[in-house]
Structure 1
Amino acid sequence: MIDRRRFLALGALAAAGGIGGAPAQAQQLKFFRIGTGGTAGTYYPLAGVIANAISNPPGSRPCDQGGSCGVPGLVATAVASNGSVANINAINSGAMESGFSQSDVAYWAYTGTGIYEGKPKVEALRLIANLYPESFHLIARKGSGFKSVADLKGKRVSLDEPGSGTLVDARMVLAAFGLTDKDIKAEYLKPQQSADKLKDGALDAFVSVTGYPQGAISELAATSGIELVPVEGPGIDKMLAQYSFFARDEIPTDAYKGVAGVKTISVNAQWVTSAKQPDDLVYEVAKALWNDNTRKLLDAGHAKGKTIQLATALAGAGVPVHPGAERFYKEKGLVK
């Protein structure tokens, strides 16, 4: 992964005309940040794999010589953030070139509905690719006895941090059971902080909408033991009927060591950008995302990487596809 320190160093060199010893090469350098989530989540490591795959700064060895197969002159980097809402806001303001988002949050931002009701629409939001399903995890202490979301009433529960898509979905799931933040002892922590507090007995449960297996949850399952609480029932059935971006899902047994599987719901993780990003650049980014070298890196780099497939690159798209990415998908026959 090209980390933040390397990213800044390359930027300084580019400004000084010092990459490759030629100002012309420095001028060709392009930066492409990918907003993610907390470092213990799934967004951050997967974005790191993708950033590494699509980067090809001046001076890199050619692809056919075992070097980078990414976009010539591109330096991409995964940037930790508060999650979906924060990433979309950063894209909209120009603080980020792109970011990962839950499909529901992207749809609400683009249409000015849901949590964006009464706020300006993020009309420039565009899709690069749909990535993978994100499962709604409700994690409880081993032996908690929780059988349903309804059992959270009066309990100490972390709903994730402000700016995250998880917090949005957690409130929707609570509402499906007639609950709000006020009916629980709510906290708003990143997944790793939540896992630490659960381990120490300072929390009863926490929520994480993420691809499984998620690192902090896996570690917790292996060290302290956890239970997954099912997310199902009449309220959830009604929610699924109302919002098409939710889907029925299941976290299988032993997705986390020694933990029984449960039925739950999911949304899609999507890679989004702004219509203001150049068509040619986003075309090259999409092309680099779906080349054979990236395929190998995704398959080897993270357990969820194998589920990122070209065949589902446009699945559940609630926002328009960026014209540059659309050109690539037309070439692949995914768009007529």
Structure 2
Amino acid sequence: MKKKSFLLVTVLLLALSMFLAACGGDEKVDSTEKPEGGDSGSETAEKPDFMSILTGGTGGTYYPLGGAFANIISDATGIQTTAESSGASAENMNTLKSGDAEIAFSQTDIASYAKDGKLMFEGAAVDNVSAIGTLYPETIQIVTTSKSGIKSVEDLKGKKVSVGAPGSGTNPNAEQILEVHGMTFDDIKKQDLSFDESTAGIQDGTIDAAFVTAGTPTGAVEGLSATEDVVIIPIAQDKIDALIEKYPYYVQDEIPSGTYGLSDAVSTVAVQAMLVVTNDLSEDVVYEVTKAIFENLDQVAHAKGKLISAENAVNGVGIDIHPGAQKYYDEKGITPK
């Protein structure tokens, strides 16, 4: 009987020792799964292997700039980054919303409409994006010729005026500029034409003036200046101030003398090209991306690269800046002007 009891106790002790060994083994595996430093494992998980930058058409400015930025980011961060052609601002914002890209070019005003769910984004706000920063101005040019007799925005009343292609960003630019002058589209004979159609219409006399939102010099307007005495209608300083106060994605701008044969510089406003990023990217990753771009601008061959700087990147943004980008600007002591 004692022998049987002894054997039973022995079996139970053996089973208990095996159980404890198994538990101890589990603890050892858990401890080796986490890298030393604890949090570094989560940081590794947050850093993607691949990112894409949405640009615009291959014939535009966004695409070559995006290619340069992609190379810079890849080299500086180790994240393989590529530039993708797209339908530009509005399409880019919707693609970021769907989670199919990480970084995109956009006009500042289009990004603001997207965030607020206004105009072409009514009922479909894009709420998962923030700004890296602004890049360079896309100038609002109110184009006419000397023979039209139009010298001020108020002179547009009753005239045939193109406000850009349907659904374009130029359309709300025109509406808002007229607004600060106490006018609406009802005060003009509105035409919805592309830039090329607008300058052709001015040339053949079917329209009197056109709003053009683009980097200067703009090809379509340069073409017009080859055959006509081009006039760019100025915007008075008080109207510029009122516009920027109500719509903070605008910045003051100037078209230099000599552009299109102009004898004097012309005062106007601009929206800006900007980089937008999805909020899914961590603060550390966006900090690295922001630092990489602004500290390697010498690698950007495109002419617009000369207009890009970290010091101006926080001006006229119009939407929230991503914490990672803000961290970089704070380190550099950069604040809005």
> Given the two structures, how large is their TM-score scaled by the length of structure 2?
0.70
2: CA distance, partners of 1:238 / 1:129: 23
Q: In structure 1, what is the equivalent of residue 309 of structure 2?
A: 309
Q: In structure 2, what is the equivalent of residue 13 of structure 1?
A: none
Whether the 8 Å CA contact 2:108–2:318 is kept in 1: the answer is yes
CA shift digits 1:34-62 (9 cap, x unpaired): 244795xxxx31x22322213349xxxxx
Larger Rg: 2
Q: Shift of residue 152 of structure 1?
A: 1.8
CA shift digits 1:235-276 (9 cap, x unpaired): 555434434443443222113334543222233332112213
Q: In structure 1, what is the equivalent of residue 98 of structure 2?
A: 93
Q: In structure 2, what is the equivalent of residue 10 of structure 1?
A: none
2: CA distance, partners of 1:224 / 1:32: 43
1: CA distance, partners of 2:103 / 2:139: 22
| 1:265-280 to 2 correspondences below 5 Å | 265-277=269-281
Q: In structure 1, what is the equivalent of residue 54 of structure 2?
A: 34
Q: 1:193 to 1:291 in 2, by over 3 A?
A: farther
| 1:1-336 to 2 correspondences below 5 Å | 30=50, 32-36=52-56, 39=59, 44-45=60-61, 47-56=62-71, 72-81=79-88, 84-94=89-99, 97-112=102-117, 115=119, 119=123, 121-232=125-236, 237-258=241-262, 260-277=264-281, 282-292=286-296, 294-297=297-300, 300-302=301-303, 304-326=304-326, 328-329=328-329, 332=332, 334=334
Q: 1:207 to 1:329 in 2, by over 3 A?
A: same
**% identical aligned pairs:** 34
Q: In structure 1, what is the equivalent of residue 24 of structure 2?
A: none
1: CA distance, partners of 2:260 / 2:206: 22
Q: 3-state DSSP class of the match of 2:54?
A: strand
Q: Could you list the runs of 5+ residues in structure 2 that have no partner in the other structure?
A: 1-47
2: CA distance, partners of 1:178 / 1:282: 42
Q: 1:229 to 1:85 in 2, by over 3 A?
A: same
Q: 1:313 to 1:247 in 2, by over 3 A?
A: closer
2: CA distance, partners of 1:117 / 1:272: 16
AA in 1 matched with 2:298:
R
CA shift digits 1:307-326 (9 cap, x unpaired): 21122222233322234434
Q: 1:123 to 1:185 in 2, by over 3 A?
A: same
CA shift digits 1:138-158 (9 cap, x unpaired): 011342111111222232222
2: CA distance, partners of 1:279 / 1:264: 36
Q: 1:301 to 1:183 in 2, by over 3 A?
A: same
Q: 3-state DSSP class of the match of 1:32?
A: strand
Q: 1:55 to 1:103 in 2, by over 3 A?
A: closer
2: CA distance, partners of 1:70 / 1:218: 40
2: CA distance, partners of 1:187 / 1:38: 28
Q: 1:331 to 1:155 in 2, by over 3 A?
A: same
Q: Shift of residue 220 of structure 1?
A: 2.6
Q: Shift of residue 98 of structure 1?
A: 3.6
Higher helix proportion:
2
Q: Shift of residue 225 of structure 1?
A: 3.7
> Given the two structures, how large is their TM-score scaled by the length of structure 1?
0.70
Q: 1:220 to 1:38 in 2, by over 3 A?
A: farther
1: CA distance, partners of 2:325 / 2:239: 37
Farther-moved stretch of structure 1 (123-132 vs 196-205): 196-205
2: CA distance, partners of 1:147 / 1:256: 16
AA in 2 matched with 1:207:
F
Whether the 8 Å CA contact 2:55–2:66 is kept in 1: the answer is no
Whether the 8 Å CA contact 2:251–2:316 is kept in 1: the answer is no
Number of aligned pairs?
A: 287
Q: 1:187 to 1:278 in 2, by over 3 A?
A: farther
Whether the 8 Å CA contact 2:66–2:83 is kept in 1: the answer is yes
AA in 2 matched with 1:51:
G
Q: 3-state DSSP class of the match of 1:137?
A: strand
Q: 1:72 to 1:125 in 2, by over 3 A?
A: closer
Q: Shift of residue 159 of structure 1?
A: 1.0
Q: 1:215 to 1:280 in 2, by over 3 A?
A: farther
CA shift digits 1:180-199 (9 cap, x unpaired): 22332222233233233333
Q: 1:267 to 1:70 in 2, by over 3 A?
A: same
AA in 1 matched with 2:54:
I
Q: 1:235 to 1:319 in 2, by over 3 A?
A: closer
CA shift digits 1:163-186 (9 cap, x unpaired): 433211210112223332233222
